[in-house]
Structure 1
């Protein structure tokens, strides 16, 4: 198996965490319903490949996200001691279901822009944040860690460029209410390295340390890995990715896909990081899932490593 030559870069963080979102963010917008047993096998294969943070599902209304109507069944089918297994919740009803399922970590999903908040949550930015305050407080009281996603940090399909001040406002509110980490989303993939550095610096100036930040990049314009590298140089140590590059954003028509976990692992390996991920096994898991989705993986690494003859990839 080919692997990149290892050439470490001075001044980078000592270690990096991969936050796998394929089973939740990757599958949520799929129009064909994926059977629960297929989702569970996908998660099992991701675990076998060495991933140790895997976001399982989302406790949201089946009316709005029918793909995740089996959230409780997915959680019940996973050994929660096998790794970190966060779930997304949209409101207190979702939190009640999540807590009843025994999860130990949740995430809430806020927006930096009014248009996306309206389309995604049917609320204003501040109304959504007010709703999350009780969710976060109840979660922390129950000993459950809370991650805060912020979408549209770099651009919005309705509003265009997004000011750094808008992102900082939402980030401050989430930190003040008690979230333990923040994932900054380039939901439509328009971010560039300089923008990434400027946002990190602006957040730090507002008193939000780099150590609580994660980055969630989309590869719509081919900038995801360049943005990861920029974030690494800024001291960011956690990155969201989706096996095989599956997923996008159902509310943002120009979003084409998440950063592929394989592509991220390849770059991190070349930089000398020990991710704990067996890249060959991860590629096999993504190829397996691609067959169930009835389309080839969008990951460049998967395409390069998986031959037509033995893995069904062009």
Structure 2
């Protein structure tokens, strides 16, 4: 029977601490077919913070027509902002109007969402890569002027459902433009989950050679082919110490139908703790939170760790 804790074997070649950038409340819930009540969302974020997560992406200030699941951003954000003063609560802003809404509510961290490929830029943003970057430039500039921290998400860094494998140099070029624009951090997205550890290593090496070091990078893996943890480990070996994950493995991508769920936060934390890497996260509380949310969504969590620990707890209770 599982003890709920992995055996710890420290690897000194890896970072001593990893910051988990939790995306379940935004990236996860925006892909739900039904609308999750704002009270449930607020409690979800609060429970995640109680489990030790210090960066929780709260919502997106996108037009409700495009993402009706996040139409309650104006109601949700002040509630979690006021309840969780010590927690970082970044929000996605697709354009200047979104930034205006975020600024009006006192957001201190924002993110823009770019694409490494033309096909996905058209599908997701209805613009070319160049046109989308031109749209983001004043958003990033104004955010920096207001003293905000800015993250640049970059989708399709490894593969695209229309274009296939994405050349490393193509990804590096867009990353360079986002960095030069003023983004403090770049999150490399494997949107359809086709990356492998060698590909991850090649991209991180190329980015370092282009002057974008691991300290400025985060990784965002999907587990379509079961490679998310292996890819994360490859990134850690390159010194990356910020990893995106979604509680319970929630999420996908509404504009890339082949994309499955994000890397589950619980699966990530199990691996990190087994490697002796500090996260500040209580795995038991996190697992309970994801099981609670799965109950609200009416289906079991896809996270292997949630299922294993929940099963072990049930067996222990029966015995």
Deviations 1:96-140 (A, max 9, x none): 001001100000000000010001000000100011000000000
Unaligned ranges ≥5, structure 2: none
Displacement of 1:68 in angstroms is 0.3
Q: 2:12 aligns with which of 7, 10, 13?
A: 10
Counterpart for residue 296 of structure 1: 300
Unaligned ranges ≥5, structure 1: none
Give the conservation status (yes or no) of the 8 Å contact 2:25–2:57.
yes
Counterpart for residue 147 of structure 1: 151
TM alignment of 1:102-251, pairs within 5 A: 102-251=106-255
Deviations 1:48-70 (A, max 9, x none): 11100000000001000000000
**Counterpart secondary structure, 1:273:** coil
Matched residues, number:
311
Deviations 1:124-159 (A, max 9, x none): 001000110000000000010100000000000111
- What is the root-mean-square deviation of aligned Cα atoms in Å? 1.2
CA–CA separation in structure 2 for the residues paired with 1:26 and 1:139: 25
**Counterpart secondary structure, 1:27:** helix
CA–CA separation in structure 1 for the residues paired with 2:278 and 2:116: 33
CA–CA separation in structure 1 for the residues paired with 2:279 and 2:306: 17
Structure 2 length-normalised TM: 0.96
Counterpart for residue 49 of structure 1: 51
Counterpart for residue 261 of structure 1: 265
Structure 1 length-normalised TM: 0.97
CA–CA separation in structure 1 for the residues paired with 2:212 and 2:280: 29
Hey, which bits of structure 1, 4+ residues long, moved more than 2 A? 307-311
